[in-house]
Amino acid sequence: MNVFGVDIGGSGIKGAPVDLERGDLAEPRHKVLTPHPAAPDGVADCVAEVVNHFGWSGPIGVTFPGVVTGSTIRTAANVDKSWIGVDAAALIGERLGGQRVTVLNDADAAGVAEVKFGAGRDRKGLVAVLTFGTGIGSALFTDGKLVPNTELGHLELHGHEAEKRASTKAKDDKELSWEEWAHRVQKYLAHLEMLFSPELFVIGGGVSRKADKFVPLLKGIRAEIVPAQLQNNAGIVGAAMTAAAAGQV
């Protein structure tokens, strides 16, 4: 069975039909650039463009880089603040001629996919999936069950918001070496470990492709640290899985 997944990111909006049995894209994904400002109308148009590229009609799951309760956006750290209070499922569904849409946090979606099909598969205890990109996203699972909207990228660390210091955007903006950046990530993981004692950290986001450059530099963390396996498709796959679980199919 295929369900459509869309991942709204700070730089791109990408989507594809997802094969739910395999936990992988059924067709190569289509990507459009995120408009700036990343405000509701422009972003909803882009989501519709991605979905219509495939001539898709049927269930759709969409990720959003902020807190989502029900289908209402509650925070918008790295997209336009006019999203706050918007019913994203209603807005996007209307753009798509009334199709049913399920919306969830982007890191939660990536985590759902990693825990079912990727690096967190069959793991007991607490699993923390972290996505490093424009911000830092977090998804916590206890025995495979998601605790949504944890927002651990906004924890304060040495007087700074963690994602301002340790996201890949911070690495790029400040031209940090892998060693310098890994040092910041290590401090962040140590803080999370002190709070939550996870068994496993799954490191996601585009940077997971370069795990060999920084994971070996992360020292002194008790939990196992592994790169995400679905890499940049995890959000798309998790969005589609969540739409299916929401009873759309």
The yes or no reply on residue 71 touching ligand BGC (CB under 6 A) is no
The yes or no reply on residue 131 touching ligand BGC (CB under 6 A) is yes
**Residue with smallest beta-carbon separation from ligand BGC:** 135
Tokens of 82: 């006019």
Q: How far is the CB of 126 from ligand BGC (least distance, A)?
A: 18
Specify the residue for token string 């991942």: 7
Tokens of 18: 């997802």
Q: Which stretch binds ligand BGC (CB under 6 A): 30-38, 101-109, 187-195, 217-225?
A: 101-109
In the chain, % helix, strand, coil (3-state, to 5) comes to 40, 25, 35
> What residues contact 54, with CB distance under 8 A and at least 6 apart?
4, 15, 16, 17, 27, 30
The yes or no reply on residue 111 touching ligand BGC (CB under 6 A) is no
Specify the residue for token string 């509650």: 74
Which x/- pattern, by CB under 6 A, does the window 133-172 give for ligand BGC? x-x-x-------------x-x---------x---------
The yes or no reply on residue 235 touching ligand BGC (CB under 6 A) is no
Q: How far is the CB of 83 from ligand BGC (least distance, A)?
A: 11
Residues 15 and 9 sit within 8 Å (Cβ to Cβ): no
- Of 34, 71, 78, 229, the one binding ligand BGC by CB under 6 A: 78
Tokens of 141: 């699972």
